Amino acid sequence: MENVILIHGGVGSDRSLSPDLDKICAGINLRRSPLEAVVEAVAAMEDDRRFNAGTGSYPRIDGSIQMDAGVMYQGNFGSVIGLERTRNPIKVALSVMQDSPHNVLSGDGAIAFARSKGFEDYDPGTPETREKWEKMMDQLRSGALEDNPKTMQFIRKVNINSILKYDTVGAVARIDGKFAAAVSTGGSWPMLRGRVGDVPIIGSGFYAGENGAVVATGIGEEIMKRILCFRVYNRIGNEPLQQILKEEIDYFGDVTVGLIAVTEDEYGSYANKQMATGILKSEINI
């Protein structure tokens, strides 16, 4: 059996980024706990402004940056929703799990908790994301919504492919027979302030238990409806993992979705668009 960590840069991320994700994995110590491994990997992707998580997160329509993250290990989980002006939301989610009596903190409460744990004020925006936001707002002001504020109406009327940021980043790990999952995002575009996707929702954006770990990426509203990660987890052991991932994603049709997962003796990834991934494996007790 191998210890393994598998990470992704979001469905839609260019596969040319995979070698960089491999480098992140290469820096992970697979003799530590899987929880430490996935949090360290996701934090590294949060610090890379090319990904839509942590630094480089995409602004919402009002210009604010609200970030979501979640982590799960050994039946415990923690997540943050709408976290602002804080570096490495995944580390705050970990602290929620380990240092608070709660599973989920949101908004001002999440920010106050982060400050109480020593996370300093930090602007995750970058010149690149601000430029993209201004470009999108110019299109909004030009009448693209036609007095209809619904997000999907906007998506149907405006070609956003050239300015859409990559989606969620995530990691799953199996170390010494134990599993962990971690996930982080700046959200999707366009989105209203307060919008919550699948990322911080247990069973939707992430799940880990005694049989494996699963992380999703894609259109959060649709992933939540299907409770995607828990569905995949519940099928572990019934069919080959790659078959499970493909069947669950094929259900979504044209809706953009991706998955990574590890089980006791398998690991795999599948997406209906390109998706950068990284991996590190090592034999146990070497």
* Geometric angle at alpha carbon 77, from 49 and 180, rounded to 5°: 70
Residues 6 or more apart whose CB falls under 8 angstroms from that of 173 comprise 3, 4, 5, 6, 30, 34, 37, 38, 41, 179, 180, 181, 213, 262
Catalytic residue among 55, 129, 168, 185: 168
H helices present in the chain, as ranges? 18-26, 34-46, 89-99, 107-116, 127-139, 151-157, 220-226, 228-235, 241-250
d(CA 228, CA 22): 26
126 is annotated as an active-site residue: no
With a CB cutoff of 8 Å and minimum separation 6, the contacts of 160 are 136, 189, 190
User: CA–CA separation, 280 vs 177, rounded Å?
Assistant: 16
Nearest to 259 by CA among 285, 279, 229, 230: 229
Tokens of 220: 């959060």
Q: Which residues pair with 105 in a beta bridge?
A: 80
Please give the positions annotated as active site.
168
